[in-house]
Amino acid sequence: MISEGVDLKFGKFKVALLLISMIVLLLYQSYCIEISEYSVKAYVGENEVNENIEIKIHNNENREIETFRYPFVGKIYYFNVLGNKSCTSSYEGGKTYITCKFKKPIKPGENATIKYVFKKPIEKTDNLYILKISYILFANVKSFNLEVKFAEGYIIAENGVSPAGYKLDSDGRHVIVRWEYEKIPAELRSFRAIILYEKVAGKYTLYYYGIAILIVILAFLIIKPKIFKKRKKEEIISKIEVLKEDEQKILKIIIENEGIEQRKIEEITGFSKAKVSKILSELEKRGLIVKKAFGRKNRIYLSDKMKS
């Protein structure tokens, strides 16, 4: 019994020692490698988010660096590291540690950039989507930038973004949320962003269709009378081709300007007052026009006979 207790305690001691060693290793790496910039560009699609992470490092140590190890929150099922590096991953304590070995070691004072590509699923509740992304920012990370771009047709829910300090933007087609820190606050070293968003198409499709149908109906009601009036004028003009040239000229003016004064007809045609009066009297006798008195002036209209 005593032996079993000693073995159990020794086993726990080894696990604790292993964890302490890992922490010391990471802390040591934090001091010998400076991360000048930690940038993330995330694109949110229908069912997943694609994260493009770029970490720029600087070797502060007086020796060459052959490997770089960094933790990422959660279990990452798909990842790719771009460039001349061979990388492995391990899942420990709720984090995925990605270790990359450089084909060409980083010399003291030199810089290097490591680019990661992750794919993660997105949560959905009813019509609301929930994006959760987290990043570990050690003390050696000098600046942090995160840009989240959403696919077309998605909008941010009301009060649906945390933490505060973000900028909401758009490129005309996509909604974009940004966080930019030149100096990272201590409370954001374990950075966690939550964004609630929804699909605008599903919510407003019927509304937009209704508006579109209403616009078509209104346009039809406005245009139809004009088309009908134009066709009617064309029919009337085709009927007066048997008249004399001067009669046609005056009648066409009346067709285009119903209610025109005799004086205006004289100005447009250049005919004398006597000639216009004679032609109008002749057209009136034939039942093609009617004269209506407005004060001391007469206005000329097409007769009902001509309109029908």
Average confidence (pLDDT) over 161-189: 94
Q: What is the pLDDT of residue 189?
A: 94
Q: What is the pLDDT of residue 188?
A: 94
Mean pLDDT, the chain, integer: 83
Specify whether the CB–CB gap between 134 and 73 falls below 8 A.
Answer: yes
Domain with CATH 1.10.10.10 in the chain: 243-308
Label residue 72 by pLDDT band (50, 70, 90).
very high
Amino acid residing at 10: F
Domain with CATH 2.60.40.1730 in the chain: 32-200
Residue 196 has pLDDT above 90, yes or no: yes
Residue 66 has pLDDT above 60, yes or no: yes
Q: What is the pLDDT of residue 16?
A: 56
How far, in Å, CA of 28 to CA of 259, rounded? 96
- Judged by average pLDDT, the poorest of 10-24, 34-48, 142-156, 287-301 is 10-24
For 229-241, what is each residue's pLDDT tens digit?
667 666 776 777 7
Q: What is the pLDDT of residue 254?
A: 85
How far, in Å, CA of 38 to CA of 214, rounded? 51
Residue 27 has pLDDT above 70, yes or no: no
Specify whether the CB–CB gap between 174 and 152 falls below 8 A.
Answer: yes
Q: What is the pLDDT of residue 224?
A: 61
Range among 91-95, 146-150, 151-155 rated most confident: 146-150
Label residue 6 by pLDDT band (50, 70, 90).
very low
Q: What is the pLDDT of residue 14?
A: 59
CATH class of 32-200: mainly beta
Specify whether the CB–CB gap between 127 and 203 falls below 8 A.
Answer: yes
CATH class of 243-308: mainly alpha
